[in-house]
Structure 1
Amino acid sequence: MDELKIVKALAHPVRMDILKWLKEPEKHFGIQEHPVGLGVCANQFQRCGLAQSTVSSHLATLSRAGLVTTRRIGQWIFYKRNEETIAVFLKGLMRDL
């Protein structure tokens, strides 16, 4: 776990929103072909009013930081929060600060 990458990833409000939305995907995303238990399809994130390429960049940053996991099904990529990494990061933050 790279704590600096995580802090940098959390520094942008859209990425924070994405993580909040992924915490309760049933509440924040519309119906998709696959169950949200697999994750949220990348095209669902365009709700934030940003271009698809910008959304992809934010999701890639969260993925590189380990805050989300990805799963490819056919041509679609699904994203889920990485609860284990988030918990370890928060525990370390509480301990160190």
Structure 2
Amino acid sequence: MDTETALAALAALAHPTRLEAFRELVRHEPAGLSTGALVAASGLSQSTFSTHLAVLARAGLVTAEKRGRQQIQRASIDTLGRLMTFLARDCCQGRAELCGPLVADLAACC
């Protein structure tokens, strides 16, 4: 992942509504959630929420797939992984003493 892509993803997640929507989608992987369910959970209007969803999609964090008459939104776990790896590699720069605890925390949570 390059810096521009990382910045776009971080900027997309830097809004409370978008962060919560993304977290909700991650919790529902791999099945995803319908757009309607996401809108209802957000408490926002369809048009307002669609704007937030578009920001997440442009950043590559969310993808949509059509299932019957519904649009199912899914978190891009691949993009999330690349972002996390980018941050760890860039910030730790090969210093295991800095990233070791982070890796251990991630392993323990899953």
Alignment TM-score > 0.5, same fold: yes
1:1-97 equivalences in 2 (<5 Å): 2-25=5-28, 37=31, 39-46=32-39, 47-97=41-91
| Unaligned segments of structure 1, at least 5 residues | 27-35
CA displacement at 1:81 relative to structure 2: 0.8
Structure-2-length-normalised TM-score: 0.71
Q: Supply the distance in 1 between the matched residues of 2:68 and 2:51 (Cα, whole angstroms).
A: 20
Which one has the largest radius of gyration? 2
Q: Supply the distance in 2 between the matched residues of 1:23 and 1:74 (Cα, whole angstroms).
A: 22
Q: Supply the distance in 2 between the matched residues of 1:91 and 1:11 (Cα, whole angstroms).
A: 18
**Partner of residue 104, structure 2:** none
Structure-1-length-normalised TM-score: 0.79
SS at match of 2:66: strand
RMSD: 1.8
| Unaligned segments of structure 2, at least 5 residues | 92-110
Size of the aligned set, in residue pairs, is: 87
Quick one: which amino acid aligns to residue 45 of structure 1? L
Q: Supply the distance in 2 between the matched residues of 1:88 and 1:15 (Cα, whole angstroms).
A: 19
Following superposition, which runs of at least 4 residues in structure 1 exceed 2 angstroms of deviation? 73-76
